[in-house]
Structure 1
Amino acid sequence: MKKKILLYLASALFLVAIFTACKKETGASADNTAEASMQSDDQARVSTEVDAVANDADAALETSTSFTGRYSQAQINVICDATVVYDSVSNPRSITITYNGGSCWGSRTRSGVVVISMAQGVHWKDASASITITFQNLKITRVSDNKSVTLNGSQTYTNVSGGLLINLPNLGTITHAITSSNMSITFDNNSQRTWQVAKQRVFSYNNGVVITTTGTHTDGSVTGIAEWGLNRFGHAFASSIVVPLVIRQDCSFRLVSGEVKHTTPLVTAIATFGLNATGTPTSCPGTGHYYFEVVWTGANGNSLTVIMPY
């Protein structure tokens, strides 16, 4: 069961954001706002992959005694498209994840390297323990259209509360924070931009794992910002989590609620999740569809509302 929890956590956010990226792109095209469409897609993909690497880091850390501080555990490889090499002797210690371009996820492939660095004497299970995650030409290619993004730079990943996810059912909650000021993004048109990231993920256990994500950056009167910077067109943007994004294991690790606001000079888009076909909040639909509503507002005040399944 504990191994399954790690595997679920390593895939949940990736699967959720893949569909949000595709649906946002469709809504923006209907509004005839190409830049807004592409920015929504870019933001969803980058945010997804940052979270996916954090999940991989959790999985790699929690299967190594020297990094977690646990007394005993079996080291297993829970990342299906990568090999993992541990160096517990050097200072800082490191875990090198090399992605092999495999297609085990079905909807995307990854190639490149991620290096996790942790100082000697630090144990991931302790409160405020932090690691540095360095992206080295991590290229993610979407199978459906062969479009890619390549990530470089570094981020700080902090176990704010302490505790290990493998023990989540007994701990109640675990809080992690992700911050970065130098994430370099290279898009499929070869444009390169630097983004900043500030988000918090709270893991809890309520009839299964629950992941609640919020943005932690504030700019003037705007709060809850999770990513910001320049988009591929060179225009400023900010993506704010207006209502926390919630993923639940007891609903097959689906996104069950939340609201995200994307702001660019051309358009503002607000996406609300966890709805039924009429746009009303609903409980888990089982094998049926959730729906989300996107309200796009252009610079001239025109707006468009779209409700679509996911």
Structure 2
Amino acid sequence: MKVRVLTFAVLSLALAVTSCKKDAKDDDDSNTVDLETRVTAHADDQSRISNELDAVDNDVNTYIEETSAFGREQNVMAPPCNTTVTFDSTQALRRMTITFNGNNCANTHSRTGTIVATIPMQQRWRDSGAVITETINNLRITRLSDNKSISVNGTRTLTNASGGRIPNLYLPGPGHRNSIRHRINGNMTVAFDNNTQRQWSVARQREFTRAPQDSLVITVTGTHTDGQTTGISEWGTNRFGAAFSTQIVEPLKFNQGCGFRLGAGKVQHNVVGANTVVTFGLNAQGNPTGCPGANPYYFKAVWTGANGNTQTVIRPYF
């Protein structure tokens, strides 16, 4: 009888241990899946906000360069699609209002909302240090491939850090410049498609150069420093309520010959629980690619999970 009782007790203990191990494994798997979901969602959010505002900035630059109110120059960038622009001035400011009301030229995103750009009357945009203030009002950008949207409100400044205008890259003689540098700083409220609203700050430099084929190349770097961390381009709170900062560790490249799509570069997302390195400009196998035509580029996100194992995901972006 004692033997039977002992055997039953040992069996019960073994089952309990096995059950605990299974539960622990299930918890680990659940945490891994949850972490992967959060990592990939944040990587996608950051690339969307960054890339789509870069595309908007290209449209803003086009209107700045071609309009007499801001000092008309030759336009070397494609005219924006489904936008209208109006101008008015006060004694102190020149004002330009850009209204977005449909698909972009590539038909990959739909955009609605306005950006109001102002510059002091006494400033000329071609001068080094000239500052344009942008007020973003209910700018809603929808990715047509999956109908996911973000909405942005806030204020940014666009500073002509180098002086000169983008067409100066193409001018011979004394007016020629090898590069034009703009710096963007600001604070925004971003509303995600899961009904969360978060605060994001931005500090980026966009450098324009001329490629051998005469197309423009835009190189983006981060300009904010926090303690020992340099090259920060965005920081704030992500959709999951976690504080983050994003460093550009290899400059982001946009080539006019590729439709100004993000074709190369690497960032690091610093978030409690998982620092993630994301590489852009890849194919579906995770290898660098050239212009993919109408096909998506892919990013590769790499991070270390709670168990110390390196995790990798490859996802498309547009």
What is the TM-score of this pair, normalised by structure 1?
A: 0.78
Question: How far has the Cα of 1:150 moved from its partner?
Answer: 0.8
Corresponding position of 2:180: 174
Distance 1:153 1:50 in 2: 12
- Structure with bigger RCO (C-alpha 8 Å, 6+ apart): 1
Q: Give the aligned residue type for 1:35.
A: R
Corresponding position of 1:100: 101
Corresponding position of 2:240: 233
Question: How far has the Cα of 1:261 moved from its partner?
Answer: 0.8
Is the Cα–Cα contact under 8 Å of residues 40 and 301 in structure 2 kept in the other structure? no
Distance 2:74 2:226 in 1: 43
Question: How far has the Cα of 1:197 moved from its partner?
Answer: 0.3
Change (3 A) 1:299 1:119: farther
Distance 2:35 2:188 in 1: 29
Between stretches 200-209 and 285-294, larger displacement belongs to 285-294
State the aligned residue count: 277
Question: How far has the Cα of 1:276 moved from its partner?
Answer: 7.5
Between stretches 287-296 and 92-101, larger displacement belongs to 287-296
Q: Give the aligned residue type for 2:210.
A: Y
Is the Cα–Cα contact under 8 Å of residues 31 and 296 in structure 1 kept in the other structure? no
SS in 1 for 2:66: coil
Change (3 A) 1:117 1:192: same
Corresponding position of 2:113: 112
1:184 aligns with 2:192: no
* Identity over aligned pairs, percent: 48
Distance 2:149 2:296 in 1: 28
Question: How far has the Cα of 1:175 moved from its partner?
Answer: 0.3
1:63 aligns with 2:69: no
Question: How far has the Cα of 1:81 moved from its partner?
Answer: 1.7
Distance 2:40 2:143 in 1: 16
SS in 1 for 2:272: coil
Distance 2:178 2:281 in 1: 24
Distance 1:280 1:200 in 2: 27
- The superposition leaves residues 117-166 of structure 1 with CA deviations (integer Å, 9 ceiling, x where unpaired) of 11112111111111011011111112122221111110000111111112
Question: How far has the Cα of 1:298 moved from its partner?
Answer: 2.5
SS in 2 for 1:258: strand
Is the Cα–Cα contact under 8 Å of residues 133 and 157 in structure 1 kept in the other structure? yes
User: 1:196 pairs with 196, 201, 219, which one?
Assistant: 201
Q: Equivalences for 1:82-101 in 2 at 5 Å?
A: 82-101=83-102
SS in 2 for 1:188: coil
Corresponding position of 2:57: 54
Change (3 A) 1:184 1:289: closer
Q: Equivalences for 1:136-175 in 2 at 5 Å?
A: 136-170=137-171, 171-175=177-181
Q: Give the aligned residue type for 1:130.
A: V
Question: How far has the Cα of 1:268 moved from its partner?
Answer: 2.0
Distance 1:289 1:56 in 2: 22
SS in 2 for 1:101: strand
Between stretches 243-252 and 262-271, larger displacement belongs to 243-252
SS in 1 for 2:239: coil
- The superposition leaves residues 26-70 of structure 1 with CA deviations (integer Å, 9 ceiling, x where unpaired) of xxx9886211121111111111232222212211111112312x5
Is the Cα–Cα contact under 8 Å of residues 55 and 260 in structure 2 kept in the other structure? no
Q: Give the aligned residue type for 2:136.
A: F
Is the Cα–Cα contact under 8 Å of residues 275 and 291 in structure 1 kept in the other structure? yes
Q: Which runs of 5+ in 1 are unaligned?
A: 1-28
Query: What is the CA RMSD across the aligned residues, in angstroms?
Result: 3.0
Question: How far has the Cα of 1:218 moved from its partner?
Answer: 1.1
Corresponding position of 1:33: 36
User: 1:295 pairs with 293, 296, 302, which one?
Assistant: 302
Q: Give the aligned residue type for 2:38.
A: E
Distance 1:280 1:147 in 2: 26
Pair member with larger Rg: 2
Corresponding position of 2:7: none
Change (3 A) 1:146 1:281: closer
Q: Which runs of 5+ in 2 are unaligned?
A: 1-31, 172-176
Change (3 A) 1:168 1:228: same
Is the Cα–Cα contact under 8 Å of residues 66 and 123 in structure 1 kept in the other structure? no
Question: How far has the Cα of 1:93 moved from its partner?
Answer: 1.3
SS in 2 for 1:189: coil
